Structure 1
Amino acid sequence: MCVIALFALITAQCARATPPNFVLLFADDLGYGDLGCFGHPSSLTPNLDRLAAHGLRFTDFYVTSPVCSPSRAALLTGRYQTRSGIYPGVLYPASKGGLPLNETTIAEVLKSKGYTTAIVGKWHLGVGLNDTYLPTRQGFDNYLGIPYSHDQGPCQNLTCFPPDVKCYGFCDQGVVTVPLMFNENIKQQPADFLQLEKAYSEYATQFITDAVRNNRPFFLYYPSDHTHYPQYAGADYAGKSPRGPFGDALMEFDGTVGKILQTLEETGVINNTLVFFTGDNGPELMRKSRGGNAGLMKCGKGTTYEGGMREPAIAYWPGSIQPGVTRALASSLDILPSFAKLAGAALPDVQLDGVDMTNILLNHGASERQTIFYYPIAPSEKYSVFAVRWKNFKAHYYTQGAIHSENPQDSNCSSLFLKRYDPPLLYNLEADPSENYNLNSTEWDSVLKQIQAVKEQFEASMVFGENRQRLHVIPHMVTDHTSNNRCIPMKSR
């Protein structure tokens, strides 16, 4: 028996000596309550549910912004978007700016340890003149995807569901149709939504297969276009979900997750691969049944209420992460330092906002994080953070709704009036995750003082980077003057 135990220990140590692979799954506009494993009664997400059942499900996981580009910048750099200048709002096809090249991404951290890297899906961190800000300039060896959001081009004449169901809505007008890019070249324009997820799935699984064949550790970043508006799905998933078009789109995303897991199993690396899943921000409630669901959380996309920035999250690593549920506080900021720790890579020599969460992952232990800072869509040094979570308590210094979160049941979600609170609103999120009951009595003064202290300390450390949205737009990206509606973004080819 002792010999068997010793052999098992040696085997585990040898397996751990091999650098782990990383798969980072990132959904778009997915709410806290959208997955079956997070309580939705009609979402069909068997593969994500499998990750949750056999992995670690987070109840208190946060992103840094209630909209897309800034959230993605923070995820990849481990730093708040205010430091890199990815604010206010999101980048557009005509934006000249993008994620600064002096920011260090997860891909660059892992490449220093010999990892091969790929991104499959939505970038949305800038293109720039001469492709300056594409993923291939930010540490990714391989890239297949749409460089910004797939609604940032006219879509009313495009097909979103077979056989020829046109996309619901009009998306952006007066700009070129969205391209599907391969590395720095246009592969297709407009992107074919019926075949898009199939292309992503095939490319992602081939990347894994090639990496294993070449005996290379790998990092696959899969920021899906699902479930952002307009929803779409190919023939294998269209009409298959009881939840309608949103459910079909979510089911198609889940299908790709399943194919990635199958490939990890078939190539024999599933026990040496950490799969981490989360989303970029809360759901677009304005889309009603065609939008996502925040579950118990208040409001959604565009707001600093819980529904805007608390996301479903799952970590899966057979043999290393024991199944369960954690209430430990964690953030997308923490992914870079955690991956770096597991890969034995050095951290960037900058001020990081993320902390190592391997104690949570490997031991179901406590978090090094006690605070979450909530920035609005348009952060400024004048107003700084709108809210602060400290332990189980959350204080709102300002609130402001967003058109994304139009909700007839709660006018706070869509009211565009900026409201200031002195003293701040205070909620105990452990007892009241829906932020319904303000703790406005003097017995909570000590908590508010503690929150104010950590807020002031954080604000003193924050240096706002150059605003990348203030850079000039690229004029020829604004209107398509070509006769065949195929304009190449950023440079002629």
Structure 2
Amino acid sequence: MASCCLRAWSLWLLCSCAASPPNFVLLFADDLGFGDLGCYGHPSSLTPNLDRLAAAGLRLTDFYCTSPVCSPSRASLLTGRYQTRSGIYPGVLYPGSVGGLPLNETTIAEVLKPLGYATAAVGKWHLGLGANGTFLPTKQGFDHFLGIPYSHDMGPCQNLTCFPPDVKCFGVCDVGTVTVPLMYGEVIKQQPVNFPELESAYSDFAVDFITASAKNKQPFFLYYPSHHTHYPQYAGAGAAGRSLRGPFGDSLLEFDNTVGNLMTTLKKTGVINNTLVFFTADNGPELMRMSRGGNSGALKCGKGTTYEGGMREPAIAYWPGRIQPGVTHELASTLDILPTIASLAGATLPKVMLDGVDMTEILVKRGKSKREAMMFYPVDPSEKYGLFALRLGKYKAHFYTRGSSHSSTVPDQDCSVLTALKFHDPPLIFDVEADPSENYPLSLEERPDLQDVLKRIKAVKTQFEASMVFGESQISKGSDPNLRPCCNPECSPKPSCCHC
């Protein structure tokens, strides 16, 4: 009987999609912790729009990114493949980086383009710029792009205004390089970027894209990787000083306001019932910034580490009439977004080794996950060390642990940059359902049943690592100062003359 119902549901879904292909809005926050949203337990965060999405949609409690830093996490999200395959490691890409997401990798946008989808990216790209814009979104399947090609702290910010009327940015960011540019398509529109007005520009761009696509009756994919709440935080007049959490809370509120604008637009254009809205984040909070760095909630450590706080993220799926409100504890990942979107759209999957699985069963049927395990690579993965950790079911095994500068300042010394790489044999094993804080490693002597668990974990690890072919490291290709974007490329002296 259950199988008949499932077949009937699948048939109905396919017929519905054939008549009117679904739209997709993918929201991706930056350096946001598991405990930062009101709907995930923060007592003073002001995130009413995301909270409403969570209340009316499906909230995922066991959702993971693939890296505790930005570029590799974004590569995995858009390709459905671990960053080690595409070569987005070690660390992140910079303004003058020679490499970027290889053009032979297939993004979600490229999966949808053959089906006639309109595609747009707005916000933080951080997957490479390259010579003549080689790696920009417009070369990776996106029709439109408005945003910054890398992280917004990758330029001097000490003299820039982050909050109105003239509150300067907290910190200095990266000195000695060009100021951060805002690009429209492949052209620099503004340099340096005007932070207090940036989110308004993004919101207007995204609203216009949805409105135009709906008017043209064209299915669309909107990818909105926000800069919020990455350091340095910023916000415009609509959010500055309006939260209870200071600059961090204001930037989070501004992001939430844009989410509200997008939801209003989906309703006004009449496409909300045919649109999957999915929200998550790229990695955990940068705890070294203290109150300006976000919150991991009950999870251990944060950005830069392979503990839960570094890679377990809030996630919300919303689709009226298709996704029933509730909570799921099924295992899922950013890797699973590409195959899920492909399945719902009726698109052909890339003919490469994918690490993602289709989440449709979780989202629309509240069923079981097809994901058996989650792998944890450090910021600097290598074939020599392999996986740092692996989660199988409710158990997580740490083969290596290490702190990070991104997570220093918290009392837990395991998070500190001073805590060096340590090999564990046997691995540290935690029940992350009972102990999500990873405080209490389980004893193999007291729990002989864990020997079977460890045996299965090691078997999954061996099988996975045998399938892993490391792509050529794009970050190790180095940097060329001539590749740093300048709106006035013939000017002198650089970088100070790059101003428009």
TM normalised by structure 2 equals: 0.94
Quote the residue 1:380 is aligned against: 382
**Cα displacement string for residues 377-424 of structure 1 (whole angstroms, at most 9, x for unaligned residues):** 000000011000000000000001100001341011013410000000
Quote the residue 2:360 is aligned against: 358
Q: Specify the code of the residue in structure 1 equivalent to 2:113.
A: K
Determine helix, strand or coil for the equivalent of 1:278. strand
Q: Distance in 1 between matches of 2:398 and 2:21?
A: 42
**Cα displacement string for residues 322-351 of structure 1 (whole angstroms, at most 9, x for unaligned residues):** 000000000000000000000000000000
> Displacement of 1:39 after TM fit?
0.2
Quote the residue 2:395 is aligned against: 393
**1:261-410 paired onto structure 2 within 5 Å:** 261-410=263-412
> Displacement of 1:472 after TM fit?
3.3
Quote the residue 2:493 is aligned against: 482
Q: Specify the code of the residue in structure 2 equivalent to 1:379.
A: P
Q: Distance in 2 between matches of 1:298 and 1:167?
A: 29
Q: Distance in 2 between matches of 1:321 and 1:277?
A: 14
**8 Å contact kept, 2:288–2:410:** no
Call closer, same or farther: CA 1:426–1:13 in 2, change over 3 Å. closer
**8 Å contact kept, 1:27–1:225:** yes
Quote the residue 2:141 is aligned against: 139
Q: Distance in 2 between matches of 1:142 and 1:455?
A: 40
Q: Specify the code of the residue in structure 2 equivalent to 1:381.
A: E
Q: Distance in 2 between matches of 1:371 and 1:10?
A: 29
**8 Å contact kept, 2:130–2:483:** no
Call closer, same or farther: CA 1:478–1:188 in 2, change over 3 Å. closer
**8 Å contact kept, 2:131–2:483:** no
Between 1:477-486 and 1:53-62, the stretch displaced more is 477-486
> Displacement of 1:55 after TM fit?
0.1
Call closer, same or farther: CA 1:453–1:11 in 2, change over 3 Å. closer
**8 Å contact kept, 1:67–1:90:** yes
Q: How many residues align?
A: 481
1:421 to 406, 419, 424: 424
Question: Please, which runs of 5 or more residues in structure 1 have no aligned partner?
Answer: 1-8
**1:61-100 paired onto structure 2 within 5 Å:** 61-100=63-102
Q: Distance in 2 between matches of 1:191 and 1:410?
A: 37
1:48 to 44, 50, 63: 50
CA-atom RMSD in angstroms: 1.7
**1:158-307 paired onto structure 2 within 5 Å:** 158-307=160-309
Quote the residue 2:5 is aligned against: none
**8 Å contact kept, 2:45–2:245:** yes
1:454 to 454, 460, 483: 460
Q: Specify the code of the residue in structure 2 equivalent to 1:451.
A: I
Q: Indicate whether 1:439 and 2:438 are aligned.
A: no
Q: Specify the code of the residue in structure 1 equivalent to 2:471.
A: G
**Cα displacement string for residues 59-112 of structure 1 (whole angstroms, at most 9, x for unaligned residues):** 000000000000000000000000000000000001010000000000000111
Determine helix, strand or coil for the equivalent of 1:65. coil
Q: Distance in 1 between matches of 2:374 and 2:485?
A: 41
**1:5-44 paired onto structure 2 within 5 Å:** 15-16=16-17, 17-44=19-46
Q: Specify the code of the residue in structure 2 equivalent to 1:487.
A: C
Call closer, same or farther: CA 1:221–1:213 in 2, change over 3 Å. same
**8 Å contact kept, 1:31–1:307:** yes
Q: Distance in 1 between matches of 2:64 and 2:47?
A: 21
Determine helix, strand or coil for the equivalent of 1:79. coil
**8 Å contact kept, 1:189–1:486:** no
Determine helix, strand or coil for the equivalent of 1:470. helix
Determine helix, strand or coil for the equivalent of 2:124. coil
Call closer, same or farther: CA 1:428–1:236 in 2, change over 3 Å. same
Call closer, same or farther: CA 1:118–1:84 in 2, change over 3 Å. same
Q: Distance in 1 between matches of 2:191 and 2:127?
A: 19
Determine helix, strand or coil for the equivalent of 2:63. strand
**8 Å contact kept, 1:299–1:407:** no
Q: Distance in 2 between matches of 1:86 and 1:14?
A: 38
**8 Å contact kept, 1:190–1:486:** no
> Displacement of 1:51 after TM fit?
0.4
**8 Å contact kept, 1:205–1:259:** yes
**Cα displacement string for residues 284-338 of structure 1 (whole angstroms, at most 9, x for unaligned residues):** 0000011110000000000000000000000000000000000000000000000
Equivalent pairs: percent with the same residue? 69
Determine helix, strand or coil for the equivalent of 2:95. coil
**Cα displacement string for residues 336-382 of structure 1 (whole angstroms, at most 9, x for unaligned residues):** 00000000000000000000010000001000002000000000000
**8 Å contact kept, 1:281–1:301:** yes
Quote the residue 1:464 is aligned against: 470
Quote the residue 1:4 is aligned against: none
